[in-house]
Amino acid sequence: MSDPIVRPGRSAEREVEGQKATPRHVAIIMDGNGRWAARRGLPRVAGHRAGAEAVRRTMQAAADAGVEVLTLYAFSSENWRRSEDEVSDLKGLMRFYLERELGTLQKEKVRLKLIGEPAAFGNDLYDRLSQAVEETKDNDRLTLVVALNYGSQAELVGAARALAERAKAGEIDPATIDIAAVESLLHTRDLPPLDLLVRTSGEVRLSNFLLWQAAYAELVFTDTLWPDFDEAAFAATLAEFARRQRRFGGR
C-alpha cells in the first residue's frame, strides 16, 4: 500500500476548536480498476469485480470509524464513452452486487442514496436501485451515496437553469441568489458538507466530481489502485485528515 500524497506545511493541531478528527462526509474517486487488471493480465471486467469488493471493505471501514456519509463515484457521465462491452459489464456488475449486498446494507444499517441521473441505465436496473433505496431509507448507521451517471458541471448547470427560470417567472429576485440558494438545488442538498475527498491510483484531479462541494474539503491522493484499497488504506486517509489544519478561508 502506498502512502497518501500529503501537501506540505500541515499541522497536527486542529484549526477549529471542537472539530472532530473523524470526517462526517467522505467521498472517493475510485480509480485504477483497469490498471489493476492489466498488471495481472486480466480483462478489465476483472478489475471492476475486484473494485466492487473494495467497495464492501471501505463501506464497512467507514461505518466502523463513525463516518456518517460515504459518497462513491461509481459511474460518471463521461463513462458512456467507454466501449459498449465495458459499459454492459459495469451495468451487469451493478445489478449483481446490488442483489448480493442488499442484505449487508440492511444488516449493517446502511442507507443507500443515489445522485446523478441513474434512470439512464434503463428501467430494469433503475427500478432495482430505486427499490434498494426505498428498502434502506430508515437505516441510520451510515449513508452510502452512489454517484451514477453523475457530472458536477451538469449538476451546477441544472441548478443555474432552475434559478434562472424562477427569476424569469418573477418568483425570486436575482439579487437574492446566494450560496444557500445554489446548494438547495444540488444533488447533495440533504447531506452534511463534504469534509474529505480521496482519489486512488495516483491521479491528481477531480474529474468533474463534487466540484462545488469540494470547495473546502481536504484532498488526499494515494497511489493505491482501487481494488487494493483496504481497511488500512482507509484508516491512513482518516489519519491524514486528522492531521490537517482546516482553515475554511479564514486565514
31: annotated active-site residue: yes
Q: Tell me if 244 is assigned to a ligand binding site.
A: no
Q: Tell me if 141 is assigned to a ligand binding site.
A: no
79: annotated active-site residue: yes
Kindly name the residue from 31, 89, 195, 228 that is annotated as catalytic. Answer: 31
Which three three-digit cell numbers place residue 87?
459499459
Q: Tell me if 33 is assigned to a ligand binding site.
A: yes
Q: Tell me if 82 is assigned to a ligand binding site.
A: yes
Q: Tell me if 225 is assigned to a ligand binding site.
A: no
Q: Tell me if 112 is assigned to a ligand binding site.
A: no
Q: Tell me if 205 is assigned to a ligand binding site.
A: yes
Q: Tell me if 77 is assigned to a ligand binding site.
A: yes
Kindly name the residue from 64, 79, 208, 223 that is annotated as catalytic. Answer: 79
Q: Tell me if 249 is assigned to a ligand binding site.
A: no
Q: Tell me if 208 is assigned to a ligand binding site.
A: no
Q: Tell me if 161 is assigned to a ligand binding site.
A: no
Q: Tell me if 247 is assigned to a ligand binding site.
A: no
Q: Tell me if 44 is assigned to a ligand binding site.
A: yes
Q: Which long-range contacts (CB under 8 A, 24 or more apart) does 17-22 make?
A: 19/246, 21/238, 21/241, 21/242, 22/65, 22/66, 22/67, 22/238, 22/241, 22/242
Q: Distance between CA 50 and CA 33 in Å, rounded? A: 8
Residue 230 burial class via C-beta count within 10 angstroms: exposed 0-12, middle 13-18, buried 19 and up: middle
Extract the annotated binding site for Mg(2+): 31, 218
Extract the annotated binding site for substrate: 32-36, 44, 48, 76-78, 80, 82, 199, 205-207
Extract the annotated binding site: 31-36, 44, 48, 76-78, 80, 82, 199, 205-207, 218
Catalytic residues: 31, 79
